[in-house]
Structures are given as structure tokens and as C-alpha cells.
Chains A and B, each alone.
Chain A
Amino acid sequence: MPIETSYVAAHGPTHRRWWIPTAAVGTCVAMLLGSMVGTAGPTWWRVPLALLDHLPLISLDSGVSARDWTIVWELRMPRVVLAALVGAMLSLSGASYQGVFRNSLVDPYLLGVAAGAGLGATLVFALGRAETSGWIIDPLPLAAFIGGLAAVAVTYMVGVSFGAPKSAASLVLAGVAVTSLATAVQTFILQRNNDVIRQVYSWILGRLSSATWSDVWLVLPYVIVSSVTLLIHRRLLDIMRVGELEASAIGASVNRIRIIVVIAATLGTSAVVAVSGLIGFVGIIVPHAVRLLVGASYRSVIPITIFAGASFLVLADIPGRVLQDPAETPIGIVTAFFGAPFFLILLRSRQVTK
């Protein structure tokens, strides 16, 4: 369709057409790689064949035994899919918070969302996780959501009312304070409830390793609702880049946009934090890497970040599975290992450009 092609080239935002399909293919490749690596299970090159064999209408001899297929499908795949969902959601939330607060240094962790969600989830553990097993709606993501939303609300109010106006640092500092408070309360609760410490700690460090399909089904609705909402708001996030005053002058309802985006990002973040534990730095590394590649427009950054975040976390989960001696390396440690230096470089480059 030559007309369509020239239309997009001339009318759409720049550099957009090939990035999304490329990113989607990249995510598929990363997930395939993720499903091929592991200590037990079939020879790596047989895994794609086995997956093809299980597609409808395709039948071929993959040479994978039923036991090995169980390892691939029941152990590896939920972990890979969950990593993809968590990575996509944390990255997308990070990009959205950065857009709505006009602050490239914030992410779900620095704003205190993760700590608030962690506190909410800890309360569920302390009050008796076992009792909730029969409930129709699992209270864990909801408690995490309420905790996360409360934390980001406090961070925002403190950062805006006490900090210097338009200061990027005051919001981050407020987030640090809220995080410390939430973590302190969490520690206090854990001290009073020794019996759940192990549960909560394995949860804090990330428990992708024990992921099951039910974890995937638990977060999927939240991730979909949150992602669709944020995708719809990508044009409005670009408007927010000219500041509150000018955004209002061109007819944008700044407060409505801010509230919707924060609620959507917090909902998604809390849900994934509730199943995967605290995995840091993803929300800051991935959006910035995407900006370097495709430019800063949220019209491109938002959709591409979803795929890039999914790929990143699936790949970051692989070393943790290979470095198994004596115990598996939690993914939060792998992301922090890459993320902390990245954050420092980001800080430095901001200083230089200023």
C-alpha cells in the first residue's frame, strides 16, 4: 500500500514504523531463549520443536519426553511469561510516572510505590495468608495496590508542597522518605510476626523462580487494564512535557490526566509486585534505553517500552537460573547489579547537560 506508507512517513511522528514490530519480535525471541535455558529438562534446541508441536494443526516429532515437556511448560514457561509481564509493567509504569511527574529520575521504587505495595502485601501475610486461599478475589494484589497508591499520594503531596517548585530532587527525596517509613513499618510488623518472615523475605527478593500459571492469571487482568489505560494516554503524556500551565492553555485537564495515569501505573505496579516481589531499577533502565533509541516522544516510548521491558526482564532472569550454586540468584540482585551503575550514569549525564 504505497499511499499508506507515504502517509505514515509524512504524517506520523518520526521514527515510528519499524520500532514496534522489531521490539515485538525481540520479545518473542527473548521468551523463546528463556524457555530454552535451564538445568534440568530437554536439550535446548528441542524446545522450539516441542513448542511448535503443541501448536494446533502442527504435528512433528520433537523428541521431548512427557516429563521434559512438563518441565518446559509447567516450570519454565510460567516463569518466562511472568517475567515478561512484570518487566513490561514495571517499565511502562516507570515511563508513565516519569512523564506525568515530568521527572526523568522517578520510577516505581523511588516514588515509594513498591515499598507501599510491599507493606500492603506484608499485612496480608501477617494477618494470615492461609485464610485467604478460598477467597474469590485474592486480596494480595488489592492490599498491595492500596499500599502503593497511599505511598505515591504521600510522596507527591510532600514533594510538591514542601519541595522547591519544579525541583526534580524534592520528589525523589520525598519518595526516599516514604520508602524508609514503609520499610520501617514493614520490619516492625515482621518482628511481631516471626512466623511469616521467611515467606515475606523470599517474596521481597523476587519469587519468579517459583512462578506458576496461577500467578500469571492473577496479574494478567491488572497488567492489561493498566497497560491499555497508559497506552491511551501516550499523546497526553507528550502534552504534559510542556508543563502544567501550557498544557492547561491548550485545553488539557492536567489534574485528570495526572490522577488517571498515576492510578493506572500504580495498579499495574502493585499487582506485579504482589506476585514477583521487589525487582528494582527496571522502571528506570528500560524507558531511558528506549528513549536513547527511538527519541523522547511518549507516542513511541510507551508502546516500545512494553516490549523492551518484557525482553529485558526475561533475559535478566536467565543468569539467575544458570548461576545456581549454591542457590539461585534472585532476579532483584541481577537488575540492581545493572541498574545501580546505570542510574549513576544517568545522574551524571543530567548534571552535564544542565
Chain B
Amino acid sequence: MTSLHFDNVSVSYGSHRALAGFSNTVRPGEWLCLIGPNGAGKSSLLRSIAGLVKHTGDIRVDGSPLQFRSAKRRAQLVAYVPQSPVIPGDMRVREYVVLGRNPYISHFGQETRHDWDLVDGVLERLDLADLGSRHMAELSGGEQQRVVIARAIAQDAPILLLDEPTNSLDIGHQQRALELVDLLRREHGLTVVSAMHDLTLAGLYSDRLTLLHQGYVVSTGTASEVLRAETLAEFYGVSASVHLSHDGTVVVVPQRKKGGNGGD
């Protein structure tokens, strides 16, 4: 199992600072969930771990800095599931999932039998074996999401990054996708960092939440510590009530503003 350590990580796009001085330590096997309104810097943090945006500060995996790694070596350590993945509709599912093996294949090489075996194993475990020769465009949204996660699992990296993994899914598929991540986390000992919009689900599945606002960390801790009605009101501008259910789940329920006409 692998730890992830951030020291003063900042991301800027031109003069706009998207993430400012983020420091944190994700323990081996932990699930850290980033929450916050749009533009808070969640995606920027995930992309800086995956090496997709320039950042300052240090990101360390098991104590060794990530920025000096080659793209391939980094991809062996960190698998990234983007917010809206590009789905090549005319690509077959097995061909798509095998792309995750790229970090282990030389520039001039081709996949080996071991790579295809591993892909078939991943498809089997994610209940996708029947879909292997189907085209990506033929799959439902939930199936596509699982195939994208399958590609990340095929990458065999100890750290999994998920940017809004349940964005376009209905409530049933949301639950299934997150259960799957949780199962894989426990089976493989993955360390997970995700960005999520649904606060109840975020609190339900992750070990720890970090609330970002305009690039800064405003609160970090367990669900019951971070998800407080007054905090949400301040940073999301939302009127919500927070309940603690009998099994310890923190439930966030939006409320209609009193006196509002509903059309606003």
C-alpha cells in the first residue's frame, strides 16, 4: 500500500491561481474525497498528481517525489479517471481497456499475452467479460463508466484518482460505481483520491473529506466534521440541513429558501 504526500502544491493557469498551497498526507489505503463548489481546485489537484498540469510544490509517493518520474513511471504509480472521458465509440471494450497497459510497454513494443490476460482478468472481475468485443458506443453510460474504471485498474497502479466518477450516472449506477471502487480499494489496497459533488455519497464512501474553496483548503476531516450546515451555507451558498442517521451516515438535504418563489 502506498501513501501520498502533498507539500505546498499550487496550480496556476496564467494569472489565475486554481490551487493554492495544498498540503496533506493520504495514508496507505485511505480514500480522500475532495469536495467544494465548481472552480474550487479539485480537478486541478487531481491533474497535478497525474502529471497533466504544471504545479509547484512537492507531491511524494511513498516519500519519493513524483515530478522527476518519467510519464510512464508516473502512470505505473497513478491511474486517473477523468471527469468526462473521451469515449472512442468505434473502439472495442478489450482494445480500450488494454490501453491501460501502456506504462509497461516500450515505445516500439506491442502488448504481450500477459497484458491481454490481465485485461481479461480485470473485465471478469468487473462483470464486463461479456462486453469485451462490443464497441464502446454500444454501451450504456453506466457500462462505459465501469469500462473506464477497468482501464484504470488494468494500469495496476497503487493510487487511483477519480474526477467526479458518478457525474452522469443515475442513483443506482452511482452506488454501484462507488461500491466497485471501494471493493477494488480493499482487494488491491489502493489509495484513492476522488473529487465528488454529491456530499452525502462523498461522506458515505470516503475516509476523510477536504473542502476546497477558490483554491484554498477550508476544512478537512471526517464527514461529520466537514459537512456542517453553516460551512455549506458559507462556501456553497446553499441552504441545507445536515442529519446524522442512526448508522453514522451524514446526510445532506438541500432546503428551499424561505420566501423564495422557486423560479430563481
Contact = CB atoms under 8 A, between A and B. Distances in A.
A13 B95 contact: yes
B110 interface: yes
Contact of A250 (B94, B95, B102, B133): B102
Contacts of A238: 91, 95, 99
A139 interface: no
Nearest to A166: B86
Interface in A234-270: 235-236, 238-239, 241-243, 245-246, 248-253
Interface string A1-26: 00000010011111000000000000
A250 B92 contact: no
Chain A binding surface, main DSSP class: helix
A251 B103 contact: yes
B113 A7 contact: yes
A251 B72 CA distance: 4
A12 B102 contact: no
A54 B31 CA distance: 73
A235 B91 contact: no
Contacts of A296: 88, 90-91
A232 interface: yes
Contacts of A7: 113
A13 B92 CA distance: 9
B86 A235 contact: no
B116 A235 contact: no
Interface string B74-86: 1110011010011
A291 B113 CA distance: 25
Q: Which of A11, A236, A253, A296 has the most CB of B within 10 A?
A: A11
Contacts, number: 82
B92 A297 contact: yes
B88 A251 contact: no
B118 to A, nearest CB: 11
A31 B79 CA distance: 49
Given A241-B88, A248-B51, A12 B116 contact: yes
A332 to B, nearest CB: 31
Contact of B88 (A10, A242, A250): A242
A295 interface: yes
Contacts of B95: 13-14, 238, 297, 299
Given A245-B82, A248-B52, A250-B155, A14 B88 contact: no
B50 interface: yes
B86 A246 contact: yes
A84 B155 CA distance: 41
A51 B28 CA distance: 71
Q: Which of B70, B73, B95, B100 has the most CB of A within 10 A?
A: B95
B88 A249 contact: no
Interface in A130-189: none
Nearest to A245: B52
B1 interface: no
Contact of B102 (A13, A232, A252, A297): A252
Contacts of A291: 90
Contacts of B116: 10-12
A242 B85 contact: yes
Given A7-B113, A12-B116, A245-B82, A250 B99 contact: yes
Interface in B80-130: 80, 82, 85-86, 88, 90-92, 94-96, 99-100, 102-103, 105, 107-111, 113, 116-117, 120
A181 B109 CA distance: 40
Contacts of A235: 105, 109-111
Nearest to A249: B80
B1 to A, nearest CB: 22
Contacts of B92: 13-14, 295, 297
Given A238-B91, A252-B102, A295-B92, A246 B85 contact: yes
Q: Which of A11, A242, A250 has the most CB of B within 10 A?
A: A250
Given A235-B110, A252-B102, A246 B88 contact: no
Interface in A278-316: 291, 295-297, 299
B103 to A, nearest CB: 4
Interface of B: 50-52, 70-76, 79-80, 82, 85-86, 88, 90-92, 94-96, 99-100, 102-103, 105, 107-111, 113, 116-117, 120, 133, 151, 155
Interface of A: 7, 10-14, 232, 235-236, 238-239, 241-243, 245-246, 248-253, 291, 295-297, 299
